Amino acid sequence: MPSSVYFIPAAADEGPEVLSRKTRDIYLKTGLNDELGKRDFVALKIHFGEKHNTGYIKPAWLKSLIGEVRTRTPLAFLSDSNTLYIGQRSNSVEHIRLAWSHGFTPDAVDVPVIIADGLIGRDAREGKGEHGRIAAPKIASAFLHSDALICLSHATGHVQTGLGGALKNMGMGCASRAGKLDQHSVSHPRVTPKACRNCGLCSDYCPAGAIVQAEGHVRIDDAACLGCGECLVVCKFGAIKLRWDEDARRIQEKVAEYAHYVQAHFKGKTAFLNFLIKITKDCDCMAKDDPRIVPDIGLLASRDPVAVDAATAALVVGRAKGKDIWRAGYDIDWSAQLRHGERIGLGSMTYDLIELPG
């Protein structure tokens, strides 16, 4: 049976009050709000946007949705996990301050911001993979301590997956730092000798004892390295980098398997909203004001993450007059994540699009 995907036309220039109402209306159509218990912890998974990025979902658009959630439970919170790359979202202190700077303050959104994997990305739980690509998914612990998940995704292009929507927001975004490394790379971090100060801090944090101080710079023993990513964030000089050597299909299938693990944890108490507003070639991790690649389209919502991403892709291609705008960005077959998600039971690529009055 096709999954239901709800759609409301919307554009940024309608203003925050209109977009807040539309966001609330389409969320309520999913029916999740009626299923929330009075003491449920509800994680509103979002990307707060990198510094200087302007495409992220605006806090004012979420005001009415959050109000509806709070009529059911006082235990809702906005959340994301720390990044694998070094920047203002790689530790919780700077991550929360960046969220505040983008308007996600308690006074504005009426819920706290909680970074799901702790101060430097080490608060995580490991599960068991069941679908071939992932042996042991590593998920930020706050998500797995929650009772329901509302996945709020800004639809964008992406350098490695082609399309960034609900699957990537849930699969990559709910992973711990080690989980992100697990998805991004089959190899281990490397040291840039010229940048290394040989301070030994990374060695102190390495749980495997795989980092040793040598002449001039540290060295990583690949045979001992766990691939946990701890050294990436504790290095203050950017001397430890990733080897970005995953192919696009593998990383998309890993994203889908991580998303499946997270979805299964909530036993159906999930809803997915995709914001097709200021759709850009690159994701919101890019610290710049990316231009639109198509005009604004609207909001989508579903209980099925595969279906909502499939509808997102189709609407954007339609708005681009049939041009596969996702593939045009990085020549990546973005549909691999959807096909694998359908294959492993995450959702369906077949859907009924139900348009709501604006």
Digitized pLDDT (tens) for each residue of the chain, 358 residues in all = 899 999 999 999 999 999 999 999 999 999 999 999 999 999 999 999 999 999 999 999 999 999 999 999 999 999 999 988 777 898 999 999 999 999 999 999 999 999 999 999 999 999 999 998 999 999 999 999 999 999 999 999 998 899 999 999 999 999 998 899 888 776 678 999 999 999 999 999 887 899 999 999 999 998 888 767 778 778 989 899 876 656 789 999 999 999 999 999 999 999 999 999 999 999 998 888 999 999 999 999 999 999 999 999 999 999 999 999 999 988 889 999 999 999 999 999 999 999 998 8
Residue reference for tokens 């705008």: 325
- SS3 category, 202: helix
The reply to whether the predicted model has a pTM over 0.85 is yes
CA distances from 44 to 233, 239, 327 (A): 25, 34, 29
**In order of start, what are the domains of the chain with their CATH numbers?**
3-175+249-355 (3.40.50), 188-241 (3.30.70.20)
Q: Are 252 and 340 in contact (CB under 8 A)?
A: yes
Please state, in angstroms and rounded to a whole number, the distance separating the CA atoms of residues 127 and 130.
10
Task: Name the phi and psi angles at 97, rounded to 5.
Answer: -60, -35
358 CB contacts (<8 Å, ≥6 apart)? 8, 9, 10, 22
Task: Name the phi and psi angles at 58, rounded to 5.
Answer: -80, 140
Residues 290-315 have pLDDT tens digits of: 999 999 999 999 999 999 999 999 99
Please state, in angstroms and rounded to a whole number, the distance separating the CA atoms of residues 237 and 197.
8
264 CB contacts (<8 Å, ≥6 apart)? none
**Which of 242, 236, 243, 229 lies closest to 195 in space, CA to CA?**
236
Q: Helix 336-343 vs helix 248-265: angle between axes, to the nearest 10 degrees?
A: 40
DSSP string for 56-78: SPPGGGGHHHHHHHHHH-S-EEE
- Count Cβ atoms below 10 Å from residue 53 Cβ, excluding itself: 22
